[in-house]
Amino acid sequence: MATIQRAAPARQPRLQLAAGSDYGLRANPASVTGSTRLSMVLVWSLCFSGCLAERATAAELEAMADATSMTDTALIDAGAATDGDGLAADTVVSTAADIVDSASSTLVDSADAGDVRDASASDAPDIDAQTDVGDTAIALDAGPADACATLKCDDKHPCTKDSCVKGACVYAPDNKACDDGEVCTNDSCDVKKGCINPANEELCDDGDACTKTDLCKDGKCQPGADSCPCKGDGECAKLTSACAKGSCSAGKCVKKPVIGACDDGDACTGGDACAAGVCAGKAKDCSSLDGPCAKGQCGAGTCSAKQLAGVCDDGDACTSGDGCSGGVCKGKAKDCSSLKDKCNGGVCKAGGCVAVPLKLCDDGNPCTTDSCDGAKGCVHTTLASNSSCGVSGICSKGVCVGSPGNMSGLQKGAPWPMFNGGPTHQGRSTAIGPQTAKLKWKLAGVTGSWSASPMVAADGTIYIGGAGMKAITPAGVVKWTAPTKSSKESTPAIGANGTVYIGSNLGTVSAISPAGKKTWTLGAFASRNYVSAPAINAAGTVFLGSYDGYVNAVSPGGKLQWKFLTGTDATSSPAIGVDGTIYVGGSDHYLYALDGAGKEKWKVDLNAWIGLGPSVGVDGAVYIGVDKTLFAVDPAGKIKWTFAAQLSTSVSHRHNGGLVFGASDGLYSIDAKGKQVWKFPVTGISLSSPLLDAKGTAYFGSMNGYLYAIDSSGKEKWKYQVGQIRSSVAMAADGTLYVGAAGTLYAMAP
């Protein structure tokens, strides 16, 4: 027997003894015995009268069961009786009492209610009961399990699950089948009515994040108050930038990053690009301006150094108290003055004081030893006579003969007495020339356009030819003008007694006293009115070439001693070796060597017209430029070597045998073996033979209008514009440099 269970208080169960009712009892009549049938009738009648007529609640049903002394009440719908022994399906007993009385008197006589209960409990078939809170279906298995094969269980409600269990129909309500998808309805299955979906008024969510406290009404979720600032992207435009787009998301304005190139508006960045919604570029690198007292910074796209203040380190161990000033780290120099004397100065090196020479004590004389005494200054000690000097020279009374040559026939103490400085034409001075381009004075109207070079006497007087030879003081004042009638005069030479010898375009040679008086004139040597710069040997004999092709020897008193024919022209100034040999070039392509009596010692064919004067080196060899070649000829007349260059000047000589000369494309320096050491390019041909001072600096002029100073390594020390220069330079004992250019004599200060 199945038990009737209580339903939830809010929903009382209803019982109806009919097919498809809440409580349906069906049994197979063939399986019911007489006693069992009596119990079933009793219970069925008892329940039917209360449940159907009065629609009793579950509590009332329990009371009815107690009234009949039944612990469990089972509702049985026997269905239509087919065997004649069962109760008719439509039989209704009006009250439970009637059923009890009828059953007691008719069927069981003296049996009490408990007997009936016991008999029902023992004789009834197994009954399965199924319950559900609210709407409950109960099925009693009144027959064998194979009865389900013929029993059809369908209550015609789509929300119940119909089945047959052990020969009984079971109808179970399925609330889920009644889900209408609305949160605002309460969905359930009623086995009589089917699905019911009454509306509720509970909280809900309308799916809009912008509404709050949504509430169900009329079966629909109604939106609450709007709490969002935006509804669409257009309301978020204020957030749009180069790297972000304003967008409305979930009711809020947000920035959505944009990818790609951009411009951050800063000229001090480059490669601008969007990253995480921000436009940024790489800062311009200004670190090259960083320093101890400066920091590189960018402004308006330009790097500049920001000056820093404070303590710094200038990296110099010889300074202290370093500090920033004007963007520069400066310190106070270490005081090393305690080491200063006449020879040295105190300087700081690597944080320590050391003595360094202040002056160069080399007087350029190979026949002296040079030193410096801290108290006295430079000391020059003369070497003993016959001491070796240069490459092949010997010292004689402090002079290296075989270097500038034998100077006995020239004025004693004259720093530059003849062309290229001496009989050998080596072009070297014992003085130190100007180290900077500083003009001492200039004197106009002196030389005209002629190429005569100045000479310097022992007292510093400058002699220069032109339209009348002039004597000029070291201060740049004209002392006198020689009474000559020529319009052009050659470079002069100064004899032992101070007499000045000079050739002219009249084909004459004149002797002028130191006071400016003409002593004698000899001529005419040349039918074509020209004589070269004179050279003077140890005996005082004057040698000069002329345009008639002769080399002429004239005594100090003005007498012609001999003449030697070289060709049609002998325009170059003769050079005189240490042994007295006279070297001269002719237009017949030969270089001649003559003895003191005018006799030919040898000649060598150089295959071109010779216009430049030869020079004698410290090794005794003769050097001369012809056409595009420099020739080195030994004292025996054999060619030692050649060097390819188009010479435009005579060759000057260094102490070590090196050579310096001007050419059409610049100034050259070569070694004693004819190998180039360096070349200094010059625009404009140079007609000025270079002068070498005691430091090896070469001074020369060019047709480009500049006077140059080139150091021994071939680097320019200075240049000074004076106008076209055709003549060679001369140097005074104090290092003053003289040069004539475009009619003006210039003096450059040492």
- 593-631 burial, b if ≥16 CB within 10 A, otherwise e? bbebeeeeeebbebeebbbbbbbbbbbbbbbbbbeebbb
pLDDT digits (tens, 9 = 90+) for 91-120: 333 333 333 333 333 333 333 333 333 333
Strand pairing report for 319-325 and 302-307? unpaired
Predicted confidence at residue 709, as pLDDT, reads 98
By C-alpha distance, which of 183, 218, 188 is closest to 204? Answer: 183
Angle made by CA atoms 125, 190, 60, in degrees to the nearest 5: 55
Would you place residue 394 in the very low, low, confident or very high pLDDT band (cuts 50, 70, 90)?
low
What's the average model confidence in pLDDT over 128-151? Answer: 52
What does the alpha-carbon distance between residue 567 and residue 569 come to, in Å, rounded to a whole number?
6
- For 191, 431, 653, the CA distances from 696, given in Å and listed in that order, are 133, 10, 10
Predicted confidence at residue 640, as pLDDT, reads 96
Would you place residue 447 in the very low, low, confident or very high pLDDT band (cuts 50, 70, 90)?
low
By C-alpha distance, which of 321, 326, 323 is closest to 306? Answer: 326
Would you place residue 525 in the very low, low, confident or very high pLDDT band (cuts 50, 70, 90)?
low
Distance of CA 270 to the CA centre of its chain: 14
Angle made by CA atoms 33, 38, 44, in degrees to the nearest 5: 115
Q: Are 613 and 628 in contact (CB under 8 A)?
A: no
What does the alpha-carbon distance between residue 112 and residue 88 come to, in Å, rounded to a whole number?
24
Predicted confidence at residue 144, as pLDDT, reads 61
**Cross-strand partners of 585:** 591
Q: Are 134 and 190 in contact (CB under 8 A)?
A: no
Predicted confidence at residue 143, as pLDDT, reads 53
What does the alpha-carbon distance between residue 369 and residue 356 come to, in Å, rounded to a whole number?
19
SS3 338: helix
Most confident of 209-218, 234-243, 341-350, 663-672: 663-672
Would you place residue 487 in the very low, low, confident or very high pLDDT band (cuts 50, 70, 90)?
low
Q: What is the mean pLDDT of the chain?
A: 78
Phi-psi group of 410: left, alpha or beta (phi > 0 → left; psi -120 to 50 → alpha; rest → beta)? beta
pLDDT digits (tens, 9 = 90+) for 449-460: 556 899 999 999
Would you place residue 526 in the very low, low, confident or very high pLDDT band (cuts 50, 70, 90)?
low
By C-alpha distance, which of 568, 630, 565 is closest to 603? Answer: 565
Q: Which of 310-319, 370-379, 507-516 has the lowest mean pLDDT?
A: 370-379
Predicted confidence at residue 450, as pLDDT, reads 58
Those residues with Cβ within 8 angstroms of residue 299's Cβ, 6 or more apart along the chain or in another chain = 268
By C-alpha distance, which of 390, 411, 413, 409 is closest to 401? Answer: 390
What does the alpha-carbon distance between residue 500 and residue 511 come to, in Å, rounded to a whole number?
6
Would you place residue 314 in the very low, low, confident or very high pLDDT band (cuts 50, 70, 90)?
confident
**Backbone φ and ψ of 277, nearest 5°:** 85, 5
What does the alpha-carbon distance between residue 266 and residue 595 come to, in Å, rounded to a whole number?
89
Residue 735 in this model has a pLDDT that exceeds 90? yes
Cβ-based burial of 397 (10 A; exposed 0-12, middle 13-18, buried ≥19): exposed
Residue 62 in this model has a pLDDT that exceeds 50? no
Helix ranges restricted to H, 220-266: none
Cβ-based burial of 221 (10 A; exposed 0-12, middle 13-18, buried ≥19): buried
Residue 59 in this model has a pLDDT that exceeds 60? no
User: Which DSSP string do the residues of 660-683 spell out, in sequence order?
Assistant: EEEETTEEEEE-TTS-EEEEEE-S
**Cross-strand partners of 489:** 504
What does the alpha-carbon distance between residue 488 and residue 532 come to, in Å, rounded to a whole number?
12
Residue 27 in this model has a pLDDT that exceeds 50? no
Would you place residue 657 in the very low, low, confident or very high pLDDT band (cuts 50, 70, 90)?
confident
Residue 76 in this model has a pLDDT that exceeds 50? no
What's the average model confidence in pLDDT over 340-368? Answer: 82
pLDDT digits (tens, 9 = 90+) for 355-391: 888 767 877 678 888 888 878 888 889 988 777 775 4
Would you place residue 423 in the very low, low, confident or very high pLDDT band (cuts 50, 70, 90)?
very high
Residue 13 in this model has a pLDDT that exceeds 70? no
What does the alpha-carbon distance between residue 491 and residue 745 come to, in Å, rounded to a whole number?
14
Q: Are 738 and 732 in contact (CB under 8 A)?
A: yes
Residue 321 in this model has a pLDDT that exceeds 50? yes
Domains of the chain by start residue, with CATH: 29-178+186-190 (no CATH), 198-228 (no CATH), 399-748 (2.130.10.10)
Residue 251 in this model has a pLDDT that exceeds 50? yes
What's the average model confidence in pLDDT over 168-193? Answer: 87
pLDDT digits (tens, 9 = 90+) for 668-717: 999 999 999 999 999 888 889 999 998 899 999 999 999 999 999 999 99
Residue 142 in this model has a pLDDT that exceeds 50? no
Residue 123 in this model has a pLDDT that exceeds 60? no
What's the chain's Rg over C-alpha atoms? 70
* Percent of the chain residues past pLDDT 70, beyond the cut: 77
Residue 456: Cβ within 10 Å count: 24
Predicted confidence at residue 401, as pLDDT, reads 56
Tokens of 6: 């209580």
Predicted confidence at residue 390, as pLDDT, reads 59
